[in-house]
Amino acid sequence: MGLFIATGSFFLGQPQVFPPALRGSIYLIVPAVLPLPLLVFWLIRVRFGNSYILDRRKPSFALSDSGRHERSSPKRATP
């Protein structure tokens, strides 16, 4: 959200630092507003993305009958 405020303040609030041909054009509005849809996209991607789902069916290690930690081996697919 801070990036949106900063880019809006720079691109829309300081037009004197840009050439006269760019002042008031769409070329300054796009980079000023772009961080907001990118923020929404990233929040949706992180919240609903499948890249962070963990397989919680079986722990990576288990206690054997003797009380020792044994690392479980991953199951391999048979061809």
Higher pLDDT, 12 or 57: 12
In the chain, where the domains are located: 1-50
Nearest to 14 by CA among 28, 33, 35, 30: 28
Inter-CA distances, 11 with 22, 35, 36, 61, Å: 10, 12, 14, 54
* pTM score: 0.51
pLDDT at 17 > cutoff 60: yes
pLDDT at 60 > cutoff 90: no
Higher pLDDT, 22 or 76: 22
